[in-house]
Each structure stands twice: as C-alpha cells, then as structure tokens.
Amino acid sequence: MSSFKQSDHKLLLIPGPVECHDDVLLANAHPSMSHVSPAFAPSFAYCIKALRKVLYAPTAQPFIIAGSGTLGCYIALRALRALRALPSSLAGPPLVRALTSLTPHFLLLSSSLWGDRDLVAANLIEAGQNALVLNSGYFGDSFADCLETYGAKVTQVKAPVGGRPSLEEVEAALKKDKYALMTFTHVRPNEQQGLMSILVRHISILADQYQKSRLTRDCAFLYTATGVLSDAKALGELVKRVSPETLVILDGVCAVASEEIHQDDWNIDVVVGASQKGLSTPPGVSITTVSTKALKVLENRKTPVASYFANYKRWWPIMQSYENLTPAYFATPPVNLIYALEASLKQITEGSPSLEERFQIHREASKKFKKAAEELGFKQVATEPEAAANGMTAVYVPEGIAPPALVGALGNRGIVIAGGLHKDIKTKYVRFGHMGVSVHPSRNDVDVMIKSLQDAVAEVKQQSA
C-alpha cells in the first residue's frame, strides 16, 4: 500500500467512468516504459491471465487493445474514402467546417468500447450472414450499425422501456432463421458513440443518401440506458439448446467485475468489456475475451477480415506472445493504462474481499441504494426487480423534481451523477453508478450518495414549492 493520495474531488458516481483506487492511479503514473521492454511484459501477461479469472473463462483468449496511431490512420483512410463518394454540394465547405470544428485540424481517438464492437463485427461475421440483436432501447442501433457495416443482415427482438426481450421471443427468433451470432448486453448504461463512430457513421450516411443505397435499420441488442440486467446465463443456455452453431456475444462493458459472468459455463463466446467501469481503471482500454469456438470461426472464414487494425488474426499472436513474457508488436499498447489495469486486477482477484464476495457486495450496495431512492419517491426504470442491475441504478424522479435541478443540487454537494439517455424518457429519469472501488467496504461512497440525495431532494422540493 502506497502513501499516494489523489487530490480532493467530486465523487464520480455515474455508470462509468468511475472512481479509481489510489494505487491504480499511482500505477498509471508509472514512468514511461517501452512497450517491448522485458520489464513490461509480466504486467501485460498478468492482465491477460487475471481477466480469465474475473470472467470464469479459463479457456478463452483475452484481447487487450487501445487506440493507436495505426487506428488513427485506418479511420482517416476510411473517412477520406467516404468523403470522395460525396458530391461537391455535400462535401464542400459546410461539411469541412463541421468536421474541422470537432478539433483543430486533428482528431484524438481511443478504441475503448467501439474498438471492441468493431473487432467482433469485423472478425466474427461475414457479408450476407444473419445476426440477431436483442434490443431494449437507446443503444439499439449501435451494434447493429456496426454489424451491418460489415455486411451482416440484422434482425432485432425488441423490448419495452425498462424491460428485456423474453426468452420465448428470443427462442422463436432463433428457430425462424439461422444466425451466425447473437448480441446482447448485460448492463448498458451510458456509453455514447465515440468521435470516430460519429464521424465515420455520419459521413457514410451522407454518402449512402447521395447514392440512394439502403440505410442501416434501427436495430439493437439488449443493453441498458435504463439499468436493466439481462439473464446472460439463460440466454447462453437457450442458444446452446436451440441454435448451437450461433455465436453468443455479450456486451459486458458495464458488467465486467461488477456482475457475475461465467463465460465458459454460460456458453458465452465473446465478452466485450472496457477499463473504466467495474474494473475501476481510467478509460482507454478495450477488452474482449473470445472462446475457442469463436476463434475457430475466425480461422474458417471464407473471406478475409475486412479491417487492418480490427483483425483478431493480427492481435492474437501479440496476446499469446505477451502472455509468454515475450514482447511483440503490431500497434503500441497503452503501457501506463495496463500498469493501472494490473493494479486494479490484483485488488480484484487477489485482495480482500474475494472475487465472489465482491459480487455479493455489489448486490448489497445496489439493494441499499435502490431502497433509499424508493423511500424518497424514486421509481426504478427496470420493470422487474430481478432485472435491475447491481452496478448502477436508473430511476424516474418524483413528481415536481426536474432532473437537471437534481443533478445540479447533487453537484453542489460534491456528487456527480448522470442524466437520462433513453430518448423516450430522457427528461424523466437519472442514473447513479455504484460499482468498482466505490462499493469497497473500506469506503462509504454509497452512504455519502444516499445522504446527499436526501438533502438534494429536500432542497429541490423547497425551491419548487
């Protein structure tokens, strides 16, 4: 345990990024190190092995990747290629001004979640194959758009706000057609589209409109801007029984290390994660763990992977090499973030509480906060108690309380929470994060959040009276 203490700051209690332990931030401040240094390889190897423990996936292959110059070049080429397809009326000064206004002359990008999705879509689906996407709302078009970019034919199973597709609906869809893969999200709170995705997607849409080609459909997967937790175990078992050849893709960005995921036992082929949620590490690292079944699908592709950077075949030997303590190079890994991730994973897999106790602590913290919020008149967006996430809470605000006023009142008390995102209820609800280090027994973040919420509600009600 170091003597380093981070400076005083507002408590970040949103569904990610989240608070980080002092030791994690200290590790992130490690002196610059060559990514091919023998001294760095053990840290990378540790992260790969520890992720298997966190996800109960001893046979899976973890991929730990960050955006780099290679990714930037790839995105720039894709964007320029799309721009050349536009007529001068669309690609003229207005569009150029709009793009260059994003940053002065250049874009700063990180792969994180979007790199994960691009990796899945680029490697595990081929043009013309079917993909089933389970849809619960706001983020429904993101994974589907990504899949369709690579030529997949996407079908969706929708759920109402606060709900999740029933197993019967999913089974009916699986029996109706043959799918190469199915995607759904364990907990999906607030990850907005990255600058890269916005740029490429909107340029592509303009080009498609000009060429009068078919636009992507508004399809989605089971995720939650609403605090809804999917039944990953039941879905994995269902696919194994009804359509065993279908790959099961779990978007676990807001679930890894805060919700129990038994990847191998639950028949999950790919888990998509990121550093800034339950893993309590600064943003910038995209994480996927891929089953041997999915890797065999990759090896048996009939067509080449339609991506240079997002190609598992390029990254796979890099991961294997680092795990064997031999540095290798395809694109520069995020050295300091990997040191930080290592520090966090050591706390999760080796420290106290144990991994199993950690999941129970998340469940207890979730119940405690949800009960306190309900006593204040808040109502959960999740329509089923058993479907409520344990690492975050999405709640409708009581009548007479405006979400912006509540967010502001909490901010004045040193608590940062998140507003709503789902387009149908955006002005009616707010979201709280209680995951990672914030629920550790040595801290009182949840108690502070509850007391601050009680005071903020009283203040806002008094002001509106």
Kindly list the domain boundaries of the chain, sorted by start residue.
Answer: 46-340, 355-464
In this predicted structure, the answer to whether residue 203 has a pLDDT above a threshold of 80 is no
**Mean pLDDT value across residues 202-219:** 34
What confidence score (pLDDT) does residue 333 get? 94
Strands 247-251 and 270-274: parallel
Region of poorest pLDDT, from 113-117, 173-177, 254-258, 347-351: 113-117
What confidence score (pLDDT) does residue 462 get? 93
Higher pLDDT, 136 or 79: 136
**Predicted confidence band at 139 (pLDDT cuts at 50, 70, 90)?**
low
What confidence score (pLDDT) does residue 114 get? 55
pLDDT tens, residue by residue, 401-436: 999 999 999 999 999 999 998 888 999 999 999 999
C-alpha closest to that of 80 among 202, 214, 203:
203
What confidence score (pLDDT) does residue 85 get? 53
C-alpha closest to that of 16 among 274, 218, 239, 195:
274
pLDDT tens, residue by residue, 264-294: 999 999 999 999 999 999 999 999 999 999 9
The DSSP code for 214 is P
Q: How distant is the alpha carbon of residue 373 from its chain centre?
A: 25
In what side-by-side order are the strands of the sheet with 379-380? 379-380, 392-396, 429-433, 418-419
Write down the CATH number for the domain with range 355-464: 3.90.1150.10
3-state secondary structure of 10: coil
What confidence score (pLDDT) does residue 67 get? 56
Highest mean pLDDT among 66-75, 106-115, 369-378: 369-378
In this predicted structure, the answer to whether residue 39 has a pLDDT above a threshold of 60 is yes
**Mean pLDDT value across residues 440-456:** 97
C-alpha closest to that of 12 among 197, 394, 277, 334:
277
pLDDT tens, residue by residue, 256-265: 999 999 999 9
What confidence score (pLDDT) does residue 317 get? 98
In this predicted structure, the answer to whether residue 103 has a pLDDT above a threshold of 80 is no
User: At residue 130, what are phi and psi to the nearest 5 degrees?
Assistant: -90, 140
* CB-side neighbour CA atoms (13 Å) of 376: 26
- If you classify domain 46-340 with CATH, what class do you get? alpha beta
Strands 379-380 and 130-135: unpaired
Helix extents (H) in 85-219: 88-91, 93-100, 112-124, 140-149, 167-176, 195-211
Q: Is 158 exposed, middle or buried (0-12, 13-18, 19+ CB in 10 A)?
A: middle
Contacts (Cβ under 8 Å, ≥6 apart) of 37: 327
**Predicted confidence band at 219 (pLDDT cuts at 50, 70, 90)?**
very low
In this predicted structure, the answer to whether residue 386 has a pLDDT above a threshold of 90 is no
Asked whether 344 and 21 are in contact (CB, 8 A), the reply is yes
In this predicted structure, the answer to whether residue 234 has a pLDDT above a threshold of 90 is yes
Predicted TM-score of the model (pTM): 0.84
CA distance 36 to 13: 36
In the block, residue with structure tokens 């003229």: 92
CA distance 222 to 81: 32
In this predicted structure, the answer to whether residue 2 has a pLDDT above a threshold of 80 is no
**Predicted confidence band at 140 (pLDDT cuts at 50, 70, 90)?**
low
What confidence score (pLDDT) does residue 3 get? 87
Q: How distant is the alpha carbon of residue 12 from its chain centre?
A: 17
In this predicted structure, the answer to whether residue 184 has a pLDDT above a threshold of 60 is yes
What confidence score (pLDDT) does residue 229 get? 86
In this predicted structure, the answer to whether residue 35 has a pLDDT above a threshold of 80 is yes
* Tokens at 328, concatenated: 């290798």
**Predicted confidence band at 179 (pLDDT cuts at 50, 70, 90)?**
very high
Q: Is 244 exposed, middle or buried (0-12, 13-18, 19+ CB in 10 A)?
A: exposed
CA distances, 23 to each of 4, 26, 188, 413 (Å): 7, 5, 27, 26
